[in-house]
Amino acid sequence: MFNSKHFRKLLALTTALALTATVGLSVMAQAETTKHFSVIEAASDQDSLSVTEIAKKCRTSIVAIETETKVVYNTYDNGYPFGMFGYGYGYGYGGRSNRQQEYTETAAGSGIVLSEDGYILTNNHVISGADKITVYVMPEDGETEEETYEATLVASSESNDIAVLKIDAKGLTPATFGDSDQLEIGELAVAIGNPMGSVHGSVTAGIISATERELTIDDVTISAIQTDAAINPGNSGGGLFDSYGNLIGIVYAKSSSVSIEGIGYAIPVNDVKDLIDQMINDPDSVQAQTKGSQIMLGITIVDITEAMSKQYSMPVGVYVREVSEMSAAERAGLTKGDIIVEFDGETVTCADDLNAIKAKQTPGDTVEMKIDRNGKEMTIEIVIPQPTEVETTSDK
């Protein structure tokens, strides 16, 4: 039998539940409307790409670069260049006459297309001192031959290790910039470049291994992105891309690197994008930046942190990746693979320590430097060189 009393109670309960749900939905809608915009959530709305898709999207935004530099050196009747057996040895020896010889040195690197009309970004060390710069642009179809252009230098920054070139081209595919401040350890990283100067458009993939890694190159410290994507000589100036195919770093690589696999570095785009704009829009102001003096020992170094020390059984300090020829470091006997642990009696745990201690020195002074060489501690003496003029285009 139909019970109206029970029906009314059921109807009241159903109505109450409906009103509660409506109010709840209204509150949720209001919360969604007033919610602040999030860069991270906006990025997460994008569909990430596969490595294949990233390669298709980004390869034509990377160019190959070849440089030619004329080198002149003194030689003697015996055919040996000046200084081959040490600084000053052989000069005028036995009354032999000297003469000059010249040859052209070639080198290779990579670059990133910034604009449709031919602005190209690369590392400063890729083009520094070059007499001729040639850029090779990959065709869109991937089948026709590369187009070749002679490039002119627009502006460069030694202290940031970037340079902007210009080629007379149209219809290029510029890279899209990402946000290097939002990187997370473990996310996908894809490097595209010209390794060994012979594999234009080569693609390697890995992850973001670390961010804000202090890396000192030729006495200039860079806060770098670290990746395990394979990076080799010739990749310098190429692109490091995120999982959406956006440029997040300018790859840095040199012919001499740490003898540990799976460690590569890139300059975060957020650190230099304002400078890049300035280089293109007002290059004269960049080149006219004030110059400062800096004592350069002639070494490229990498920090050995506590974690790396434990993992690789090395002392904490700075690892010498490269020693420049005829530098103060070379004359002191410092070699690739040495680890500097003390300078002028003060402990060195990172590049910042070494730079701070070095800045206190007076040119001409002889300073003791304690190093670890193949597990044996030893002390060598280095003569502090005269300061070198360097461009300063940022306050870092």
Catalytic residue positions, numbered: 125, 161, 236
CA angle 133–55–160, rounded 5-degree value: 45
Report the Cα 176 to chain-centroid distance in Å: 18
Cα–Cα nearest to 186, from 213, 208, 202: 208
Q: 28: part of which helix (H) or strand (E)?
A: helix 4-34
Whole-angstrom distance, CA of residue 74 vs CA of residue 76: 7
Whole-angstrom distance, CA of residue 275 vs CA of residue 164: 10
Whole-angstrom distance, CA of residue 258 vs CA of residue 228: 13
Strand partners, 381: 368
Which three-class secondary structure state does DSSP give residue 299? Answer: strand
Give the residue carrying structure tokens 């974690």: 307
> 89-97 contacts: CB < 8 A, separation 24 or more?
none
Strand partners, 320: 301
Q: Provide the 10 A C-beta neighbour count for residue 347.
A: 12
Helices (H) and strands (E) in the chain, counts: 9, 20
From residue 163, alpha-carbon distances to 159, 278, 381 in Å are 11, 11, 36
Q: In the 8-state DSSP scheme, what is residue 182? A: G
